[in-house]
Amino acid sequence: MKVIYAGYSKTGTKTMSAVFMELGYKTYDFFENSWYLGKEWKQIVNYGGTVEDFRKMYEGVDAVVDSPCFLFWEEILKAYPDTKIIFSVRDEDAWVRSMQKQLHSLATDPLYILMQVFSYSGWKHFGFVCVAAQSVLGSAQRWPWSKFKYNETVWRRMYKHHNNYLLQNAPKDKLLVFNFKDGWEPICKFHGEEIPDKPFPHANIGASIIRDYMETHPIMIRMLRETMLTVGVLTLIGAYGGYKVYRNPTIINSWISAAVSRFKFW
């Protein structure tokens, strides 16, 4: 493990993920944690975990970003003592607005909702989302199409507590407090890397990451393909059932009679 990005969600996590990948680091961001370590994270959040658990989880991984990793930066640091920490903070009011916009985007994107309902991988991902949101934001979502229920006061308290605690307790010789306006140089100097000959990335502008990932991220692409297959099969079954009813209208009466007899509606 080379680096933990310990900034809260919506403090440039997707930009930092792009930075690490550009530097050639094997990076576990939100979707990688969901896909590869969803079961382990559910265990840790619900029942706790050991340093050895974190060591096994991130063996061979160079960088971790976003929730719930940043909340457990101390445990990951104990598992990998040579790891460095990059941290960034943004204005609290701007952070709240950005988080609200991101959650609204997740809860109202029809394709993303369908992917979590009709894809096995998507349903597993939704379970991870619930665990991550509960631990990081104290927010809950009952179903993929439900609105996030949250308390802004709790959000602000958790945000300030995390930021203050990290600044007070992270080893100063391992910590870089980063301003995204400074671009490549501080990060590359911190890690002893050459500055890439390309512009500094800026990702998830305007909470667009879900639609962007549907086109580029292999995990999201798999979820989308599973959804298309499931919807296609259900469509064929529905079409066949409709055809059978069309050819033999009395079949619907027998179905109704069987249902009434089985469930005793009256």
pTM of the model: 0.82
Q: Is 249 a member of any domain?
A: no
pLDDT score at 193: 95
CA 255 to chain centroid, in Å, comes to 43
pLDDT score at 249: 66
pLDDT score at 24: 96
Q: Is 244 a member of any domain?
A: no
pLDDT score at 265: 45
Q: What is the CATH number of the domain that holds 201?
A: 3.40.50.300
Q: Is 258 a member of any domain?
A: no
Structure tokens at 60: 């061979």
Q: Is 257 a member of any domain?
A: no
CA 230 to chain centroid, in Å, comes to 23
pLDDT score at 187: 97
Query: Could you list the residue range(s) of the whole structural domain that residue 207 is in?
Result: 3-227
Q: How many domains does the chain have?
A: 1
Q: Is 66 a member of any domain?
A: yes
- Identify which of 101, 209, 114, 116 has the alpha carbon closest to the alpha carbon of residue 150: 101
Alpha-carbon distance 114 to 73, whole Å?
A: 33
Mean pLDDT by 10 residues, the chain (266 residues): 96 94 95 92 92 96 96 96 96 93 83 86 87 85 79 94 97 96 96 94 66 74 84 77 67 60 53
Q: Is 31 a member of any domain?
A: yes
Alpha-carbon distance 92 to 171, whole Å?
A: 24
pLDDT score at 174: 97
Q: Is 248 a member of any domain?
A: no
